[in-house]
Chain A
Amino acid sequence: MLKLLKNLKPYWLSIIGVILFVFLQAISELFLPTLMSNVVDIGVVNGGINYILKIGGMMLFIAFIAMAASITGSYLSSRLSIGFARDLRTMVFTKVESFSLEDFNEKGTDSLIVRTTNDITQIQQLTVTLFRMFLRAPMLFIGGIIMAFSKNAQLAFLLMSILPILSIIIYFVAKKSMSLFQAMQIKVDKLNSVLREYLDGIRVIRAFNREDYEKERFDKSNFDLTGTARKVNTLMALLMPVMILVLNLTIVAIFWLGSIRIGSDIMQVGDLMAFVQYASQIMFSLIMFSMMFVMFPRASVSAMRINEVLNVEPKINDPVIPLIPEQTLLEDGSEKISRNIALQETRAEKNGKGHLKFDKVSFCYQNAKEYAVCDISFQARPGEITAIIGSTGSGKSTLINLIPRFYDVTRGSILINNIDIRDISQESLHEMIGLVPQKPTLFTGTVAENISFGNNSNQLSREEIKRVAEVAQAARFIERMPDGYDSFIAQGGRNLSGGEKQRLSIARALARHPDIYIFDDSFSALDFKTESRLREALKYEIKDTIVLIIAQRVTTVMGAEQIIVLDKGRIVGIGPHHTLIQTSEVYREIVSSQLSEEALYE
C-alpha cells in the first residue's frame, strides 16, 4: 500500500496545498469556539452587546475563510486523487501490454482485468476519502490539542491521558477487523467462483444429475460467508457505541473537573464550554481515524495485487542495440501496397538467404519438469511450406510460440536471416510475422478495421482489404452482412460463427504482407470445401514467403515441401509426405487414422 502511495510524488505540491488548506480550515473551525468563549466570558459576563456583535462579525469572517479553504482543498484533492488513479491505471495497463505471454499467463487474463479495473477503483476510493475526510482527522486532532492546551493545560493533560486508552481500543478492533475483512473477502471470492463454475458447467451438471450436489456446494460457501460476515459486522456494531461512550464520558469528566476549577476561580465558564468542544473534536477525529481501518483492508488487498503486476520483471526484453534484419531494411513502410510486388522481386533474389532456422532449440515452461520441446533443428525457406503435425500436447503450439518470442528459448537459438531473434527489437520481429492463431480473436469495430488491425501508420485501402478478404474466402459472407465491410463486430466477434471468425483472422494476417506466415491450426472450423478453396487461393498469395502450418488434418499438410512430425516435444520425422510415409512410423499412424486405404493408394 505504502509502496503504491510513493507514486504520489509528482503531486507533492498539490499534497502540500491540500494539507495547508485543510489545516487552515481546521484552525478556523477550531477558532470559533475560542471566540465563542470570549463572547461568554467577556461579552455576556459584562453584558457588552457591542463586543458580542464585534466578535460575532469576526466569527462570520472566519467561517467564510473555513469554507473557502475547504473548497480550495477539495479542488486540489479531487484532482490529486483522481489523477493518481489515472496514473496508476496507465502504469498498470502499459505494464501489462509489455508482458510476454509467459508473464501474462502466470496471472491469467481475468485476474489481470480485475487488477486493472476494480482494484484501481478501490484504490481511488481510498485516496478520495483519504484526502477529503481523513486528512482532516489529524489536523483537527493536532489543532484541537493545541487549542486545548492554550485554554487549560491541566485539563488538556487529563484529556491526553485518556487518548492512549482510546488508541488501544482502536488498535485491537482494527487488527481484528482487518483479518476478518480479509477472511470475508476470500469467502466472497469463493462463493463467486462456485457460482461461476456452476454456470459454466450447467449442461454437464444437469446431464449427470448433480444439481443437488452443486446446490450443497453453494450452500456450504454461502453459510461460510454468512458466518464470517456476521462476525465482522457484529464487531463493527460494537465499535461505534463504545467509541461514542468513551467520548461522552470524557466530556463529562472534563466538565466535572472543569467546574471544580471554576469553583476555585482558576477557570472561566466560557473557557470550559470551549474546552468541551475541543475535546469532542479531538475524540471525533479519532473516531474518524478508526473508520479508516474499515476501508484499509479492502484497499490494501487491491494494492497488493496491483503491486504484483507492477513488480513483474519482464522476462523478455528488447536487445540494447537491436539489429535490423536485412529484408525489412529494404522495405519502406509507406509503400505497403506496391510492397508486395517489390518484395517478391527482392525475395527471389535472396532466395538463398532469407530463411528461418531453428538451431537445437529446447524450451521448458517455468516450473515444468520436462522440456515442452526439445532439441528442435530445422530450416524453413521462402516459397516453401513447412507443416507441423503431431499428437495433442506434442509441442506444436509451443514450438511456434517461440518465433514471435511469446516465450524465449531455454537452449539453442532461432535465427531469421542468420540473425538471432533475440537481437532484433520485438517490434521489427513482429512486423515480419503474420500469425493466425488457433482461437480467432477479433476486436470491437468494423470488419474493415479488424482486417487492417495493427497497420496503424498506413491505413489500408478498401481495395486491398477487399482483396485479402477475397483470398481468405471471407468476402462472400462479409458482403452479405448488413453494412458490408463497415458492419460492426461485437466484442470477441460474438455475432460471427467460428468459421467466419477464422477467415477474418486469416485475412487480417494476409493484410500485413509478412515475411513469415504462421497458421496455428487455423482451418479447423472450416468445412472441407471452404478449406480446400482457401488453400487454393492462398497458394499464390503466400508464394515466396515462409509458411508454417500447424494442422491436425493430413490433407492440410500433405502438399507441404517439408513436414515436421512432432512427438512428445521431439522431431521424429522430417521431410515431404512421400518420404515420411515410408520412413516415419508416427506419421504413418497419423495418416492411416485419417484416410481410407483407397484414398491413400489410389
Chain B
Amino acid sequence: MSEKEARPAPLTRGFGRGPGSHRGLTMPVEKPKDFKGSLWRLIGYLKPYWSKIVFAVVASIASSIFVIISPKIMGRATTKLFEGFMLKIKQVPGAAIDFIYIKNIIFMLIGLYFLNAIFTYLQNYIMVGVTQQVVYEMRKDTSSKLSRLPLSYFDGRTHGEILSRVTNDIDTISSTLQQSITQFITSIVSLLGIVIMMLTISPLLSLVIFFTLPLSILVTRIVAGKSQRYFIRQQNLLGELNGHVEEMYAGHEIVKVFNYEKESIERFNRLNQQLFDAGWKAQFISGIIMPLMMAISNLSYVFVVIMGAVAVARGTITIGNVQAFIQYSRQFTQPIVQTANIANIIQSTIAAAERVFEVLDEVEQLPDKENIILVSKPEGNIRLDGVNFGYFPEKIVLKDINLEVKKGQTIAIVGPTGVGKTTLVNLLMRFYEIDSGKITLDGIDIRDMKRADLRSLFGMVLQDTWLFKGSIKDNIAYGKENATDDEIIRAADMAYADHFIRTLPEGYDTIIDEAASNLSQGQRQLLTIARAILANPTILILDEATSNVDTRTEILIQKGMLSLMEGKTSFVIAHRLSTIRDADLILVMRKGQIIERGTHKELLKQKGFYADLYNSQFIGLKGNYIN
C-alpha cells in the first residue's frame, strides 16, 4: 500500500457490518501480537461501565432463553391441536380441540415474545451507550496523547498511518463492542439452550443433528481456507491498483504532457483484470459456504422430518415436539457459525486495539521540569555551548556547535540543503532535545523553562505555509488570542498582504479551503508572515520564509520584516544569498558544522566556501554581459 502523505483516510467506514456477511470467516485475519495483554487492556476501558455491561449480559441471556423456550411451548399447542384433530378423525364421540388450552399457550407466547423484544432492545441500547462512550474516550485519549508526543514521532510516520489508527482502528473496536460482545453471549447461550432442548425432546433425533455438525465445520474450514488465499491476493492487488491511481493522479499534468495516458490506462487495466480474477474467485468460494451449509441443514431437516414422522406414527413422540425440534435444528447452525465468526472478529479487533495502544504507549516528550524558571523580561540573548545532536543516535547531524547571539542581532544560516540548518531551529524551539551541550536564553537553560513559555517567545515563518480551513482573519489571528480587527489589519498591512486580501471576494472573511486553491503559494506565505507579525515575538525564526515569494515582492515584504525584526533576535535561513547580506552574523554550515562565520564582507574577503557560493550566482550574468 502506498504511504503517501496526508493520504485521504477511507471516508466510508461503517459502524456495524453489512448484514449477514461472512467476513469474519473468510477474510484473512490479522493476528494480534499480545492477545491476552491487549484484551485485558481493552477490558480496562470497559471497567467504569461494568454494572451496565453486566445488565446487558443478563438481558441478552434472558432474551435468548425466551427465544429458546418459545418453540417448545408452541409445540405443545401443536400437539394439543393434533391430538384433538386425530380424535376427531377417529370419530371419538365428543372429541374437540381444546381451544382454552391453546389460547392460554398463545397468551403465554405473546408474553414471551414481548419480553424477548424488550430485553433485546435494552441490551442493544445499553451497549450502544457504553460503546459510544468508550470510543469517545479512546479518541480523546489518542488526541491528547498526540499532543504530548515529540515531533520526531510525527516526522517518522506518514500522516495516513496515524490517521488510520485514530479513525479506522477505533471504528473497528466500536463495531465489535457494539455488536459482537452480546452476540457472542447470545450465541453461546442459544447453543447451550438448543442442545438441552433437543436432547430433552429426543436424544435420537439430536444424534442426527450432532452428526451433521462436524460435517458443516469441515466444509466451512476447507472452503474458508481456500477463499482466504484469494482474499489475500485481492487485498494485495487492490493496494497495488490504488497505489497506481494515487501516483497517476498526483502527477496528472506530467502524465498528460508526456502522453502517458495510454500506458497508464493499460497498466491500470492489467491490474484491474487481475483484481477481477482474484476478486470473483474470493467472492464465489466464500459464497458457496452458505448454500453448502443450507444443504447440510436441509439434509438434517429431511432426516428429522422422516425420523420424526415415523416416530409420531409409532406414537413415541408428539407432533408438537417434532415441530419444535425442526425449529431448533434450523437455529442450531447459526450460533455455531456466529461464534466462529466472532472469534475471528475479536482477533482483528484486538489487533486494531493494539495499534491504538501502540500510539498511547509511545514515549512522550520530556515533561516540563517542576521548578521551571520564568523569563520575566525576555531580551533574546541566546547561547549554544557544545551542542551535539542527531535524529538517530548513530547519525550525528550537528557536531559541537558553539554560538553566541546578542539580543537584536540577525543571524543568517546558509549552506547546501541537508546540512542541519532547520535542525538548529528544531533545537532552539525544543521540537527536539539536544543530545549533549547546552542552549541558554538570557542565561537560562531552555530545558529549565516551560516549553509553552519558551515557544511563546518565538515567532516562526516556515517555507511550509500551513493555514487551516477558516477565514483569513482567523488564520492571521492564530498568532495571538483575542486579537482585534485593527491589529489583524495592521499585521496584514506590514506583511504586504492587506492589498491582495482586499481584492478577494469576501476580504478578510474569505474562507481558505482545504486545497487553498483560491490563494497562490506566495499569498499563503504572506499570510503566515502576517501571522508571525501579529504574534510579536522576542525572537524570530524565518526558515526559507520568502522562498515562495518573488524577489520584487520580497523587497516589499522585507520592509515590513525589517521593522518586525527591529530590536528582535532573528534567525534567518535562506537559499537566496541576497536576502541575508545585511545580517550581523552569517553562519556557513556544512556537514553538520559551522565552517565559516562572519559578516558578508568578512566572509567574501576570506574567499572561502561562502565567497564561492556567492560568486557562482553571477557567473551567468558576467558571461552574458561580455557577450
Considering only CB atoms and an 8 Å cut-off, how many residues of chain B contact the other chain? Answer: 182
Q: Which chain A positions have C-beta within 8 A of B144? A: 215
Interface range, A side: 35 or more
> Is A273 close to B, CB under 8 A?
yes
- Count CB-based A-B contacts (< 8 Å): 476
A-B CB proximity, top 6 nearest: A392-B522, A454-B258, A237-B124, A70-B291, A78-B283, A63-B298
Query: How many angstroms between the C-alpha atoms of A453 and B247 in the bound complex?
Result: 14
Query: How many angstroms between the C-alpha atoms of A104 and B261 in the bound complex?
Result: 14
- Chain A residue nearest to B465 (CB atoms) is A204
Q: Contact: B310 with A602, CB < 8 Å?
A: no
Q: Which chain B positions have C-beta within 8 A of A492? A: 4, 247, 250
Q: Contact: B120 with A241, CB < 8 Å?
A: yes
Query: How many angstroms between the C-alpha atoms of A238 and B123 in the bound complex?
Result: 10
Knowing A255-B77, A453-B260, the reply to whether A198 touches B146 (Cβ < 8 A) is yes
- Chain B residue nearest to A28 (CB atoms) is B298
> Is A339 close to B, CB under 8 A?
no
Query: How many angstroms between the C-alpha atoms of A122 and B14 in the bound complex?
Result: 10
A346 → B minimal CB distance (Å)? 22
Q: Contact: B167 with A93, CB < 8 Å?
A: no
B242 → A minimal CB distance (Å)? 5
Q: Which chain A positions have C-beta within 8 A of B621? A: 554-555, 558, 595, 599
> Is A222 close to B, CB under 8 A?
yes
> Is A444 close to B, CB under 8 A?
yes
> Is A404 close to B, CB under 8 A?
yes
> Is A117 close to B, CB under 8 A?
yes
Q: Out of B86, B166, B417, B520, name the residue touching A195 (CB < 8 Å).
A: B166
Q: Which chain B positions have C-beta within 8 A of A294? A: 16, 19
Q: Which chain B positions have C-beta within 8 A of A71? A: 288, 291-292
> Is B366 close to A, CB under 8 A?
no
- Chain A residue nearest to B14 (CB atoms) is A298
> Is B565 close to A, CB under 8 A?
no
Query: How many angstroms between the C-alpha atoms of A114 and B99 in the bound complex?
Result: 63
> Is B151 close to A, CB under 8 A?
yes
Q: Contact: A577 with B252, CB < 8 Å?
A: no
Q: Contact: B89 with A67, CB < 8 Å?
A: no
Q: Contact: A90 with B309, CB < 8 Å?
A: no
> Is A86 close to B, CB under 8 A?
yes
Q: Contact: B117 with A242, CB < 8 Å?
A: yes
Q: Contact: B431 with A70, CB < 8 Å?
A: no
Q: Which of B334-367 contact A (CB under 8 A)?
A: none
Q: Contact: B416 with A527, CB < 8 Å?
A: yes
Determine the main DSSP class of A at the interface with B. Answer: helix
Q: Which of B108-149 contact A (CB under 8 A)?
A: 109-110, 113-114, 116-118, 120-121, 124-125, 127-129, 131-133, 135-136, 139-140, 143-144, 146-147
Query: How many angstroms between the C-alpha atoms of A60 and B303 in the bound complex?
Result: 9
Q: Which chain B positions have C-beta within 8 A of A259? A: 77, 81, 97, 99, 102
Q: Which chain A positions have C-beta within 8 A of B528? A: 204
Query: How many angstroms between the C-alpha atoms of A499 and B550 in the bound complex?
Result: 19
> Is A475 close to B, CB under 8 A?
no
Q: Out of A85, A244, A443, name the residue touching B117 (CB < 8 Å).
A: A244
Q: Which chain B positions have C-beta within 8 A of A117? A: 238, 241-242, 245
> Is B74 close to A, CB under 8 A?
yes
Query: How many angstroms between the C-alpha atoms of A231 and B397 in the bound complex?
Result: 53
> Is A364 close to B, CB under 8 A?
no
Knowing A233-B132, A593-B551, the reply to whether A81 touches B273 (Cβ < 8 A) is no
B72 → A minimal CB distance (Å)? 14
Interface string of B376-414 (1 = CB under 8 A from A): 000000000000000000000000000000000000000
Q: Out of A193, A208, A577, name the residue touching B478 (CB < 8 Å).
A: A208
Knowing A90-B269, A392-B522, the reply to whether A193 touches B514 (Cβ < 8 A) is yes
Q: Which chain B positions have C-beta within 8 A of A109? A: 249-250, 252
Q: Out of A53, A113, A222, A263, name the residue touching B136 (CB < 8 Å).
A: A222
Q: Which chain B positions have C-beta within 8 A of A527? A: 416-417, 613, 616
Query: How many angstroms between the C-alpha atoms of A232 and B417 in the bound complex?
Result: 53
Q: Which chain A positions have C-beta within 8 A of B624? A: 558-559, 577
A261 → B minimal CB distance (Å)? 11
Q: Contact: B613 with A590, CB < 8 Å?
A: no
Q: Which chain B positions have C-beta within 8 A of A392? A: 520-523, 548-550, 553
Q: Which of A218-239 contact B (CB under 8 A)?
A: 218-219, 222-223, 226, 229-230, 232-234, 236-238
Q: Contact: B143 with A215, CB < 8 Å?
A: yes
B554 → A minimal CB distance (Å)? 7
Query: How many angstroms between the C-alpha atoms of A260 and B300 in the bound complex?
Result: 32
Q: Contact: A97 with B248, CB < 8 Å?
A: yes
Q: Which chain B positions have C-beta within 8 A of A64? A: 295
Q: Contact: B263 with A85, CB < 8 Å?
A: no
Q: Out of A218, A245, A577, name the residue touching B143 (CB < 8 Å).
A: A218
A40 → B minimal CB distance (Å)? 7
Query: How many angstroms between the C-alpha atoms of A92 and B476 in the bound complex?
Result: 40
> Is A133 close to B, CB under 8 A?
yes
Q: Which of B431-472 contact A (CB under 8 A)?
A: 431, 452, 455-456, 458-460, 462, 464, 466, 468-469
Query: How many angstroms between the C-alpha atoms of A215 and B193 in the bound complex?
Result: 49
Q: Contact: B11 with A189, CB < 8 Å?
A: yes
B306 → A minimal CB distance (Å)? 4
Q: Which of A451-499 contact B (CB under 8 A)?
A: 453-454, 456, 491-492, 497-499
Q: Which chain B positions have C-beta within 8 A of A535? A: 620
Q: Contact: B272 with A89, CB < 8 Å?
A: yes
Query: How many angstroms between the C-alpha atoms of A484 and B551 in the bound complex?
Result: 37
A-B contact pairs, 17 of them (CB 8 A): A60-B299, A64-B295, A74-B284, A83-B276, A98-B261, A117-B241, A125-B18, A128-B283, A230-B128, A237-B128, A244-B120, A259-B81, A392-B549, A430-B258, A444-B247, A499-B417, A554-B551
> Is A144 close to B, CB under 8 A?
no
Query: How many angstroms between the C-alpha atoms of A44 and B85 in the bound complex?
Result: 12
Q: Contact: B431 with A45, CB < 8 Å?
A: no
Query: How many angstroms between the C-alpha atoms of A294 and B17 in the bound complex?
Result: 10
Interface string of A162-199 (1 = CB under 8 A from B): 00000000000000000000001100110111011111
Which stretch in A2-10, A149-157, A317-325, A431-439 binds the other chain? Answer: A431-439
> Is A379 close to B, CB under 8 A?
no
5 more CB-based (< 8 A) A-B contacts, given A59-B301, A229-B174, A392-B550? A43-B309, A44-B309, A195-B167, A244-B117, A291-B19
Of listed A82, A391, A524, residue having the most chain B CB within 10 A: A82
Q: Which chain B positions have C-beta within 8 A of A558? A: 620-621, 624
Query: How many angstroms between the C-alpha atoms of A99 and B555 in the bound complex?
Result: 39
> Is A96 close to B, CB under 8 A?
yes
Query: How many angstroms between the C-alpha atoms of A191 and B135 in the bound complex?
Result: 13
Q: Contact: B19 with A288, CB < 8 Å?
A: yes
Query: How many angstroms between the C-alpha atoms of A124 and B102 in the bound complex?
Result: 50
Query: How many angstroms between the C-alpha atoms of A556 and B616 in the bound complex?
Result: 12
Q: Contact: B553 with A391, CB < 8 Å?
A: yes
> Is A594 close to B, CB under 8 A?
yes
Q: Out of B310, B523, B577, B613, name the residue touching A529 (CB < 8 Å).
A: B613
Q: Out of A81, A219, A240, name the residue touching B283 (CB < 8 Å).
A: A81
A543 → B minimal CB distance (Å)? 15
Q: Which of A59-105 contact B (CB under 8 A)?
A: 59-60, 63-64, 66-67, 70-71, 74-75, 77-79, 81-83, 85-86, 89-90, 93-94, 96-99, 101, 104-105
Q: Out of A85, A105, A265, A599, name the residue touching B279 (CB < 8 Å).
A: A85
Of listed A97, A240, A433, residue having the most chain B CB within 10 A: A97
Knowing A113-B8, A193-B514, the reply to whether A430 touches B259 (Cβ < 8 A) is yes
A320 → B minimal CB distance (Å)? 20
Interface string of B524-551 (1 = CB under 8 A from A): 0000100100010000000000011111
Of listed B114, B120, B133, residue having the most chain A CB within 10 A: B120
Q: Out of B12, B313, B452, name the residue touching A43 (CB < 8 Å).
A: B313
Knowing A262-B85, A301-B12, the reply to whether A230 touches B129 (Cβ < 8 A) is yes
Q: Contact: A593 with B552, CB < 8 Å?
A: yes
B111 → A minimal CB distance (Å)? 11
Q: Contact: B313 with A594, CB < 8 Å?
A: no
Query: How many angstroms between the C-alpha atoms of A562 and B621 in the bound complex?
Result: 15
